A = this chain, B = another copy of it.
């Protein structure tokens, strides 16, 4: 058993070094959506790893390069960290209280674009590794980093990267890019993400808009075609009408339901925050609401547009209409299968004029709550935070965790510096310095305990 009090002390006493390094990382813009500072940031991250003795490659993809790093350790176990060096655009700039590219300390917090998502997590992991090595003399296991540069633009090249480098990336366990504490400050452990199939449906019925007085009775109307097509996708009881949509779904296990039942009830918080009168299907809260939130697939209209949308009236018959639709998928479903079924359904319903443009997808991905690495991580969190851990078997959102799960067959856990007030993707993105320290201590424990896995 390692001397965690010495490791914790090292982390505490080197806090200013960590913050200085994080400030350098945050000072380097790296906006993947705008192509800003990408190469420079990849090189900066590579240099931080090289300085620590890692063998580093900056590997080209069809998009932004991936920083891959590897260092030997005392055991034959391998721990893989997945992170990203790209960030969201900082706009709107006028809503920031301090410059987005300048790490600013205020009231026990650190503010900058990317400080939480995801540069603070990179720094947290580097600081944890430094502490473990300083105290024990070496890394307890082989350490690998995959730090990509396209997470904020849907990780479009990540899957082929992982598949093509599967041998190189081989590991026993993986720590995901994020993690942290709940509203009440309790450590949270996320174990699954729903999948997603995101499409744009569009219709064009004419080469230009017409006056509604002319064409109203005799011209096809793109807006009407789209409304009728959308209407065939889901009925008012929320049942998705695409044939085969629900095929093969794996329902939550008894253990999943037990974990859901143990989660705090956030139904009142949702109602207050979103001004809701209630929930769909007569749900009021409790485990049934939580099950519906994450273990049921969805069909959400994320937006639609057609014709005149300004103030007052304009009597126009629109030639074009389009809608963005996402399907959240649960274990047993696959985005490309859903896409094919959607296309078949629209064709069968007489909507061959509705074009389906696939804008991207992710498969659902889960880690077994009873995996030994999950148990190790939870035990480490209990020690670092001095608190029970909130275990979330599945969240409603989506991400590329399935890429690692399916290709590398590794369990994936979350650990880090996040908290609900972190303003990720928004102005005044921030982390709490105390959360940085505890997240780093938690990470150091995961690293150190790897040899026991």
CB closest residue in chain B, given A196: B315
User: What B residues does A299 contact at CB under 8 A?
Assistant: 216
Determine whether the beta carbon of B218 is less than 8 Å from that of A154. no
Q: Does A118 have its Cβ within 8 Å of any Cβ on chain B?
A: no
Taking CB atoms and an 8 Å cut-off, the chain A residues in 190-248 that contact chain B are 194, 196, 198, 200, 205-208, 210-221, 223-224, 227-228, 230-231, 234, 236, 238
Determine whether the beta carbon of B154 is less than 8 Å from that of A313. yes
> Considering the chains assembled together, what is the distance between the CA atoms of A275 and B208 in angstroms?
8
Q: Interface segment, A1-9, A69-77, A394-402?
A: A394-402
> Considering the chains assembled together, what is the distance between the CA atoms of A297 and B208 in angstroms?
22
Partner of A301, one of B300, B313, B318: B318
Determine whether the beta carbon of A207 is less than 8 Å from that of B302. no
- Which of A200, A212, A299, A359 is most buried by chain B, counting CB atoms within 10 A of its CB? A212
> Considering the chains assembled together, what is the distance between the CA atoms of A309 and B395 in angstroms?
26
Determine whether the beta carbon of A302 is less than 8 Å from that of B293. no
Partner of A276, one of B194, B219, B308: B219
Determine how many copies of this chain the complex contains: 2
CB closest residue in chain B, given A228: B236
Mark A284-300 against chain B: 1 for CB-CB distance below 8 A, else 0: 00000100110011111
Q: Would you call the interface of chain A mostly helix, strand, loop, or mixed?
A: mixed
User: What B residues does A211 contact at CB under 8 A?
Assistant: 396-397
Partner of A292, one of B218, B283, B306: B218
Determine whether the beta carbon of B307 is less than 8 Å from that of A304. yes
Determine whether the beta carbon of B317 is less than 8 Å from that of A300. yes
Determine whether the beta carbon of B397 is less than 8 Å from that of A213. yes
User: What B residues does A302 contact at CB under 8 A?
Assistant: 212, 223, 307-308, 313-318
User: What B residues does A293 contact at CB under 8 A?
Assistant: 214, 217-218
Determine whether the beta carbon of A221 is less than 8 Å from that of B300. yes
Partner of A303, one of B198, B292, B309, B360: B309
User: What B residues does A289 contact at CB under 8 A?
Assistant: 218
Determine whether the beta carbon of A216 is less than 8 Å from that of B298. yes
CB closest residue in chain B, given A318: B303
Given contacts A216-B328, A293-B218, are A301 and B307 in contact (CB under 8 A)? yes
Determine whether the beta carbon of B231 is less than 8 Å from that of A217. no
> Considering the chains assembled together, what is the distance between the CA atoms of A328 and B217 in angstroms?
9
- Which of A207, A301, A398 is most buried by chain B, counting CB atoms within 10 A of its CB? A301
A interface residues (Cβ-Cβ under 8 A, vs B)? 154, 194, 196, 198, 200, 205-208, 210-221, 223-224, 227-228, 230-231, 234, 236, 238, 270, 273-276, 279-281, 283, 289, 292-293, 296-309, 312-319, 321, 323-324, 326, 328, 350, 359-360, 395-398
A to B CB contacts below 8 Å, 6 in the list: A206-B275, A213-B397, A217-B298, A219-B274, A302-B313, A302-B314
